[in-house]
Amino acid sequence: MDKPVDKHEARQDTSRTVLIGLYDDVHAAGRAVDGLEKHGIARDKISVNSSVPLPVGTFRAYTRPSRLPYFSALGAFAGLIAGFSLAAGTAMLYPIATGGKPIVSLPTVGVITYEFTMLGIILFTLVGVLYEMGLPRVKKPPYDPRVSDGCVGVLVTCETEQISFEIEGILREYGAATITRFAGG
Partner 1 sequence: MASDSPFGSAARVNDDILRPVLQTTWRFYAVVALLGSVVLWGAFAVWYLLSTGIGVFGLNRPVYWALMIINFVFFVGLSHSGTLISAILRVTHAEWRRPITRGAEAMTVFTIMVAAAFPLIHLGRPWVFYYLIPYPDLRGLWPNFRSPLIWDFIAISTYLTGSIIYLYLPMIPDLAVIRDRSHGWRRYLYIALSLGWTGSEREWSRLSRVLGIMAVVIIPVAVSVHSIVSWDFAMTIVPVWHSTIFAPYFVVGAIYSGIALVITIMVLIRWVFNLQSYLQPRQFDNLGKLLFVMSVIWFYFWFADALTTWYGREPSEFAVLRYTILGPFAPLFWTMIVCNLVIPFWTMMFKQLRRNVLVMLVVSLLVNVGMYSERILIIVPALSRGRLPSAWGSYQPTWVEISITAAAFAGFSLLYVLFTKFFPVVSMWEVKEGMGERAEAGVKEPGTPPRKTVEGAEGAYG
The answer to whether 147 contacts partner 1 (rule: CB under 8 A) is yes
In the complex, what is the shortest distance from the CB of residue 162 to partner 1, in angstroms, rounded to a whole number?
26
H helical segments located in the chain: 7-12, 26-38, 68-84, 90-93, 106-133, 161-173
Q: Which is nearer to partner 1, 42 or 133 (CB)?
A: 133
Q: Which one of 10, 32, 50, 181 is in contact with partner 1 (CB under 8 A)? A: 50
Amino acid identity, residue 73?
Answer: A
Cα distances from 5 to residues 18, 19, 93, 175, 183, in angstroms, run 11, 11, 64, 22, 7
In the complex, what is the shortest distance from the CB of residue 169 to partner 1, in angstroms, rounded to a whole number?
18
In whole angstroms, what is the distance from residue 62 CA to residue 57 CA?
Answer: 11
The answer to whether 26 contacts partner 1 (rule: CB under 8 A) is yes
The answer to whether 70 contacts partner 1 (rule: CB under 8 A) is no
122-157 burial: b if 16+ Cβ within 10 Å, else e: eebbeebeeeeeeeeeeeeebbbebbeeebbbbbbb
In the complex, what is the shortest distance from the CB of residue 65 to partner 1, in angstroms, rounded to a whole number?
10
Would you tell me which residues interact with partner 1 (CB under 8 A)?
A: 1, 22-27, 47-55, 59, 62, 64, 66, 68-69, 72, 86-87, 90-91, 93-94, 96, 98, 101, 105, 108, 111-112, 114-116, 118-119, 121-123, 125-126, 128-130, 132-138, 140-141, 143, 145-152, 155, 177-178
